[in-house]
């Protein structure tokens, strides 16, 4: 487990990335995201709120292609509260998986129950 991160948070985020590109993703939403989660819609530059808006956003992403996100590391954010996931975006094509040259950071905040309450995307 990464130093400085609660094992439950590390396990939750690891599992989220494992199921994102699978058919399990929609069923896993209530087990990882708080009911009023605040989530970035990177495609449109707006914020989404709640499970249904996040599910609809993911459905839209998968309708236009097969996105992939590979978790490469977890660390505490500078504030000591959030967890930063270093990820490599990619997509599945007919000839295999293609990965971006650069990574991005997903910054997660959690509610009192340990579920993700907010996610932000930033450049490392």
Mind listing the pLDDT tens digit for each residue in 49-94? 999 999 999 999 888 889 999 999 999 999 989 999 999 999 998 8
List the beta bridge partners of residue 71: 87
Give 8-24 pLDDT, tens digit per residue.
999 999 999 999 988 89
Asked if pLDDT for residue 1 goes beyond 70, the answer is no
**Distance, CA of 34 to CA of 102 (rounded, Å):** 29
CA 18 to centroid of chain Cα atoms = 10
């Amino acid at each position: 487990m990464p130093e400085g991160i609660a094992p439950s948070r590390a396990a939750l985020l690891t599992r989220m990335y494992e199921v994102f590109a699978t058919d399990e993703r929609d069923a896993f939403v209530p087990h990882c995201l708080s009911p009023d989660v605040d989530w970035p819609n990177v495609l449109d530059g707006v914020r989404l709120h709640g499970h249904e808006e996040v599910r609809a956003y993911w459905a839209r992403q998968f309708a236009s292609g097969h996105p992939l996100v590979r978790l490469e590391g977890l660390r505490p954010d500078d504030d000591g509260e959030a967890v930063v996931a270093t990820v490599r975006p990619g997509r599945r094509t007919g000839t295999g998986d293609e990965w971006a040259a650069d990574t991005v950071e997903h910054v997660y905040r959690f509610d009192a129950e340990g579920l993700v309450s907010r996610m932000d995307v930033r450049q490392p």
